Chains A and B, each alone.
Chain A
Amino acid sequence: MSPLPPGLSRREVLRRLSSAALALAGVGTGAVAFSERRLAAAPAPAVRDWRARPEAPGAPSVVARGPDPADNVRRALLSLGGMARFVRPGETVLLKPNVGWDRLPEQGANTDPRVVAELVRQARAAGARRVLVADLSCNDPQRCFARSGVRAAAEAAGASVLDGSALELVDAALPGVARGLLVMKPLLEADRVINLPVVKHHGLSRATLGMKNWMGVFGGGRNRLHQDIDRSLAELCALFRPTLTVVDATRVLMRNGPQGGSLADVKAVEAVAIGLDPVACESWGAVQLGLDPRALGFIAAAEKAGLGTAEAGRVKELGPT
């Protein structure tokens, strides 16, 4: 006795089963393709241009000198028109200092906390809705932010401090040397970004300044940027266009950087440079280390790429208080 319904041949059954299978496969494939299309179409977070307005190479940069770092910041900002020229009310401002190392302020391995705090105050006075201070440290992040004094100073001034234990990292589909690296999410979401490096010696690149400071926005794997350090730093300079570059030369680690440790290796330069031309600011920082800016490959490459001028003399001295 046949198990098939009457009038239905085996061939017909096979034909119907095949049709059903094909239909199901088609629906499934379509669903997968549609899902992947949606994922592929979701745009990667873009890196914004945080400049108040695009500036030509040689745009104003100034340096203020004196024993009070906060006063140096105030005077330098005032000579550029004040923070209100760069930050609009309601904006979110992210400060990117160098807080890479578990070191005391006196050891000169991190940005001076007093410089960080004054910039926080200035941004808040200009009407910023939120001021963030963030860095992805080399050493233990909580120790770095604590021992450097940056956390206490920034929070007392009204900032939210984000160390590596609290920072979300995202894939921003960055090009070039940064391809594949995850970047701190708050950076991409900020309206204004201030690059806030400390001037110091570096055992590999000879100097670590603003361009090198950008490495602290990346998560794991960023060490590969050291392989072709000059090209990497110049590309980072092109990729990240900050609102301001603030170069902290309050205490300059003259040798055994970037880690430092010896107080005798630190020179009290007591100066802060602020500018719209990151290459000019970088060059000024190199001079504080006794280096010829154009002898540093990353500065020469950045100038050649039209990102600014390597003429350190363009940074105008305001003189002491």
Chain B
Amino acid sequence: MRGRFRLGHAALLVVPALAVALTLSHGRRTREDERATLAALRALAGPALPSAEAASATRSSPPARYDRERLYELIDGAAETYLARGFEACLAATYAYPGPPEIEVSAEVHRFASEEGARATLEAERPQAAVPLPGLAGAQGDGSVLLLARGRDLLKLTLLSLHPRGREALLALAAAWAEGTR
């Protein structure tokens, strides 16, 4: 009798434990679904600039949008090579970190029709002295320029100030952008 009672108690414990496990599992799948949904919505919305707040910076210029017709206004004849790689749209803005002296960074996010287009542009525009940057998978830079591709999007950051902490500013913006693309 006592043995059957222990078996029954065990069953009473297993059933609720199973129920809790199933509920948690469902919740995690739901959160993952939401994250995937958000990522898909962001992808549909077009390229997005790094969050100034997330990077602890301020925007020193309003975002400017360039499509296939207007890309020349941003990068002149180099637009031809972008178009050939499937360029679709670009958002650009300038960010600032307070000084003195102030650090300014130019940011461009280019969206291509395919990941291959973004990757090919990264490789073509990688500065001669660029190396993989620690702490940010896929980032390539040389201290004054940083390039990072995520999916169909290519982030290009250019330091507009000669500052010993400029590299940190580039990494902070790139990290904020990468987080926003997850």
Contacts and interface: CB of A to CB of B under 8 A. Distances in A.
Contact of B127 (A100, A106, A205, A262): A262
B78 A203 contact: yes
Most A Cβ at <10 Å: residue of B76, B106, B130: B76
Given A262-B142, A264-B127, A147 B160 contact: yes
Contacts of A321: none
Contact of B128 (A143, A257, A262): A262
A264 B140 CA distance: 14
B129 A264 contact: yes
Given A106-B162, A147-B160, A265 B128 contact: yes
A202 interface: yes
Interface stretch (B3-11, B14-22, B38-46, B67-75): B67-75
Contact of B77 (A102, A106, A204, A261): A204
Given A261-B145, A265-B127, A138 B79 contact: no
A256 B125 contact: yes
A226 interface: yes
A223 interface: yes
User: Chain A's interface: helix, strand, loop or mixed, by majority?
Assistant: loop
Contacts, number: 80
B80 A261 contact: no
B37 interface: no
Contacts of A143: 61, 94
Nearest to B81: A203
Given A106-B162, A261-B158, A262-B128, A223 B145 contact: no
B144 interface: yes
A170 B125 CA distance: 36
Contact of A204 (B81, B144, B145, B162): B81
Interface string B114-129: 0000000000010111
Given A140-B61, A147-B160, A226-B80, A261 B144 contact: yes
A259 B75 contact: yes
A100 B78 CA distance: 13
A261 B142 CA distance: 10
B142 A204 contact: no
Interface residues of A, number: 29
A102 B72 contact: no
Contacts of A140: 61
B75 A262 contact: no
A226 B80 CA distance: 8
Contacts of A265: 127-128
Interface in B57-98: 61, 72-81, 94
Contacts of B162: 104, 106
Given A202-B78, A204-B81, A138 B73 contact: yes
Nearest to A257: B78
Interface in A200-249: 202-205, 223, 226, 229
Given A202-B77, A204-B81, A226-B80, A262 B160 contact: no
Given A104-B160, A147-B160, A258 B78 contact: yes
A102 B80 contact: no
Contact of B129 (A103, A147, A202, A262): A262
Interface in A252-279: 254-259, 261-265
B61 A139 contact: no
A229 B81 CA distance: 13
B128 A264 contact: yes
Interface in A79-127: 100, 102-104, 106-107
21 contacts: A100-B76, A102-B94, A103-B158, A104-B160, A138-B72, A138-B74, A143-B94, A203-B77, A203-B81, A204-B78, A204-B81, A223-B72, A223-B77, A226-B80, A259-B76, A261-B106, A261-B144, A262-B130, A262-B142, A263-B142, A264-B127
Given A226-B80, A261-B144, 13 more contacts: A104-B160, A104-B162, A107-B144, A138-B75, A140-B61, A202-B76, A202-B78, A258-B77, A259-B76, A261-B127, A263-B144, A264-B127, A264-B129
Interface of A: 100, 102-104, 106-107, 138-140, 143, 147, 202-205, 223, 226, 229, 254-259, 261-265
